Amino acid sequence: MRTIIEKEERAYLEVSLALRMIPLLGASRIKQLLEAVDDPGQIFEQSAADLVNVNRIGPQIAEKIGSFNDWKKVEAIMEEAGKLNAVMLTPFHTAYPAMLKEIHDPPPVIWVRGSLEVLQKDYLAVVGTRSPGVAGKKMTVVLTKDLARRSHLGIVSGLASGVDTLAHETALEQNIPTIAVLGSGIDWIYPRSNISLAYRIIENGGAIISEQLPGTRPDAGNFPERNRIVSGMSAGVLVIESGIAGGSLITARQALDQNREVFIVPHDPLNSMGEGCNRYIQRGWGKLVLTAGDILEELPVELQKKSETTHISNDSGGMAGGGVINLQIASPSWKERCTNDTQKSICRLLTDQKRALHIDEMAEILSVSSSGLLPELLFLELEGIVLQKPGKKFNLVL
C-alpha cells in the first residue's frame, strides 16, 4: 500500500471511522472504497448513483454514505482514543500488522494499547473452548511452552476464558510476545475477570487491540469479526479443543479463507467438546498436531537452537491421538437440514440468485450483519449445503 504522511494518514483515519459507523458496510467494501480513490474525502463527494455503478455498493448503503454528516462524532472518537492511551491505525499506517493487511477484509481502523513494535512480529493463533477439559488444558500449556523454546513465534488469542487465557498466561510465563484481540471496545475488557491479565500483557511488552468503537460492550455478533483478526495477523491457527458449534471453528475456517495454516489437536471420539476438532481433521481442513514440531515444520519462521521435542504423556484422561468420528453426511434437500430461519433465508437467496454471493452482499440483501451470517454459513458448509469459494463467496450445493 501507499506511504502516507501524517496529514494524509489523519484524513484516511477520519474517513475510515466515518465509514466504520455506517451500518451494514463491511470491512471489505471499505477497503475497496479507500483503494479506489487518491483522496479519501472523494468517497463522500460521490453521488449515490456513482457509488452503486462504479464501486458496486448497494443503494441502501450508498444513500447512507451520501447522507453522512456526523463528523463531530468522528472527532470525538479520535479525542477519546487519546484519553484511553490508545493509538488508532489504518491499513495505510506503517505500524499496522503486515499480515493483517493481506486479508480481503482488514479492519478499517484498529485501536491499540501497548507496544506498536510487537505488531510486526510472527505469531501463531491459539484458540479453543472456554471450558477445556484436562487434556485441552494440558495441550495448551505444553504446546505453547514448546513453541516458545523452539521458535520466535508470539501468541495471538482472544482473551476469552479457557484456552485463550491459558495461552496468554503461558506466553507471559515464557517471556514471549502475546497479543489479545478484543470483541469489545478497547476500553471494555471482557471477561472482566481478565482485566489484570490484559494489563499484564501490556506491561510485559505485548498489546491488546480492537476494531470496535470505544464504549462497545461485548456482543455475540462482534466475536466472528474479532476471530478474523486473530487468524489474519497470524501465520497459522492452532485449535486446541472445540465443539461442533464452537467459535474456534469459525476462526479456523477464516484462516483457511485467508490462506493461513490450520493445526488441530485430535480428541477422544466420546468427548463432545472435541467433536469439532475431529470433524475438521476428518475433512482435511487442518493438520493433526501432537507436538510443536508438527506446527513448526509447516511455518516459515525462525527457529531457536534445536532442542528435544516435548512428548505428551497419555495420562491426561481423554486424549486419543488416532480417534476420529465416523460422520457420514446424508444429502436430503436444504429445507430439511436447516435448523433456523437465517439458514433458510441464506439458502433461498442463493437458490434465487443462481450464483455465488459475497458475504457482504448477502448481509445487505438480508439486512443481517456479516458477522451474524458467519456462524450460519459455517454450519451450512459443514453440513455440505453451501460451498465457500475464495474471497468469502458462497454458493449452494444442495
pLDDT tens profile 69-115: 999 999 999 999 989 999 999 998 999 999 999 999 999 999 999 99
Residue 144 pLDDT greater than 80, yes or no: yes
Q: Choose the weakest-confidence range: 52-61, 172-181, 216-225, 265-274.
A: 52-61
Sign, CA torsion 358/186/221/167: positive
Q: Residue 304 has what pLDDT?
A: 59
Distance (Å, whole) CA 20 – CA 26: 8
Distance (Å, whole) CA 204 – CA 174: 11
Q: Residue 373 has what pLDDT?
A: 87
Contact between 157 and 181 under an 8 Å Cβ cutoff? The reply is yes
Query: pLDDT above 90 covers what percent of the chain?
Result: 60
Residue 333 pLDDT greater than 80, yes or no: no
The domains of the chain are located at: 121-183+219-296, 334-396
Q: What are phi and psi of 382, to 5 degrees?
A: -65, -30
Q: Residue 328 has what pLDDT?
A: 35
In this structure, the number of other CB atoms found within 10 A of the CB of residue 283 comes to: 13
- According to CATH, what is the number of the domain 121-183+219-296? 3.40.50.450
Mean pLDDT of 5-18: 83
Q: Please name the residues in contact with 18: beta carbons below 8 A apart, sequence gap of 6 or more.
A: 44, 68, 70, 71, 74
1 or 387: which carries more pLDDT confidence?
Answer: 387
Three-state secondary structure call for residue 285: coil
Q: What are phi and psi of 374, to 5 degrees?
A: -55, -50
Q: Cell numbers at residue 250, please?
A: 469459525
pLDDT in tens, 293-321: 999 999 977 665 444 333 433 333 333 33
Contact between 252 and 227 under an 8 Å Cβ cutoff? The reply is no
- First-to-last C-alpha distance (Å) of the chain: 40
Mean pLDDT of 136-145: 95
Outline where the chain has alpha helix (H): 6-20, 27-35, 48-53, 59-67, 71-83, 98-101, 134-150, 163-173, 195-203, 222-232, 247-257, 275-282, 292-296, 334-337, 341-353, 359-366, 370-382
Residue 198 pLDDT greater than 70, yes or no: yes
Q: Residue 374 has what pLDDT?
A: 84
pLDDT in tens, 106-122: 999 999 999 999 999 99
Does the domain at 334-396 match CATH 3.40.50.970? Answer given as no
Contact between 261 and 235 under an 8 Å Cβ cutoff? The reply is yes
Residue 289 pLDDT greater than 50, yes or no: yes
Q: Residue 325 has what pLDDT?
A: 31
